[in-house]
């Protein structure tokens, strides 16, 4: 019997994915409307500034029960006002679906929020492992001077629910105070 080489691969330095069924997406500062607190600052920036990009291996159709997706996110270093570059953040559409994140390169902070809007945060670093339980919104900020890379694995029927976060944001935001990340209440 033949032993085959898998079509899909992960480059363990850059965590770039190659092979088939891979999607690539980019988020520029122009697209991140009302994500950062200081909209005036965001609008003053070069709107072509890349904030983060996502690659994911989607071997089954989105929404299929029982499958898994595997992705990597790279968040560039930077800030909007005093707030670090971060992902949009979301709950899952099928809200009870969990997810793993793990740190690959750089220092970051994973912000988590339950349905009662209680927020807590975990430090991300190369090798950190994060279990994001059901019904928990998640968002990652890069607090480093270099790109932050993290991996993710989630069920193919989880989906992304951005609406709630787009409308109400997180109950806390991650700002830089005297060169250090601080989780502050979002007034």
Strand order in the sheet with 108-113: 119-124, 108-113, 137-142
Q: Is 88 in the site for ligand PA5 (CB under 6 A)?
A: yes
Which residue from 22, 45, 54, 183 is in contact with ligand PA5, where contact means CB under 6 A? 54
Which residue lies nearer to ligand PA5 by CB, 27 or 79? 27
Which residue lies nearer to Mn ion by CB, 158 or 174? 158
| Sign of the dihedral defined by the CA atoms of residues 100, 101, 104, 109, in that order | negative
Radius of gyration of the chain (CA): 17
- Cβ neighbours of 120 (radius 10 Å): 12
Which residue from 79, 90, 97, 173 is in contact with ligand PA5, where contact means CB under 6 A? 90
* Per-residue interface string for the shown chain with ligand PA5, residues 133-172, x marking contact by CB under 6 A: -------------------x-x-----x------------
Paired tokens of 137:
């919104």
Stretch that binds Mn ion, among 16-24, 33-41, 97-105, 109-117 (CB under 5 A): 97-105
Paired tokens of 124:
């991300």
Which residue lies nearer to Mn ion by CB, 83 or 99? 99
Which residue lies nearer to ligand PA5 by CB, 133 or 179? 133
Helix, strand or coil, per DSSP, at residue 79: strand
- Cβ neighbours of 126 (radius 10 Å): 12
Q: Is 87 in the site for ligand PA5 (CB under 6 A)?
A: yes
Stretch that binds Mn ion, among 96-104, 117-125, 170-178, 179-187 (CB under 5 A): 96-104
The set of residues, in sequence order, having a beta carbon less than 8 Å from that of 59 and lying 6+ positions away, is 21, 67, 68, 69
Q: Cα–Cα distance between 115 and 11 in angstroms, integer? A: 36
Stretch that binds Mn ion, among 5-13, 19-27, 99-107, 168-176 (CB under 5 A): 99-107
Residues in contact with ligand PA5 by CB under 6 A are: 54, 71, 73, 87-90, 99, 152, 154, 160
Name the residues that contact Mn ion, by CB under 5 A. Answer: 99
């Amino acid at each position: 019997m033949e032993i085959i080489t898998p079509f899909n691969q992960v480059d363990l330095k850059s965590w770039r994915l190659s092979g088939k069924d891979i999607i690539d997406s980019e988020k520029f500062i122009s697209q991140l409307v009302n994500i950062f607190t200081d909209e005036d600052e965001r609008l003053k920036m070069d709107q072509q500034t890349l904030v983060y990009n996502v690659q994911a291996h989607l071997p089954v159709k989105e929404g299929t029960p029982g499958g898994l997706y595997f992705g990597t996110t790279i968040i560039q270093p930077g800030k909007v006002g005093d707030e670090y570059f971060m992902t949009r953040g979301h709950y899952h559409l099928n809200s009870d679906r969990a997810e793993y994140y793990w740190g690959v390169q750089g220092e970051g902070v994973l912000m988590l929020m339950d349905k009662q809007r209680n927020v807590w945060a975990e430090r991300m670093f190369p090798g950190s492992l994060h279990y994001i339980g059901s019904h928990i919104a998640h968002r990652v900020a890069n607090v480093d001077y270099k790109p932050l890379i993290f991996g993710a694995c989630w069920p193919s029927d989880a989906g992304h629910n951005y609406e709630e976060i787009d409308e109400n944001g997180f109950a806390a935001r991650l700002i830089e105070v005297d060169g250090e990340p601080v989780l502050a209440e979002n007034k």
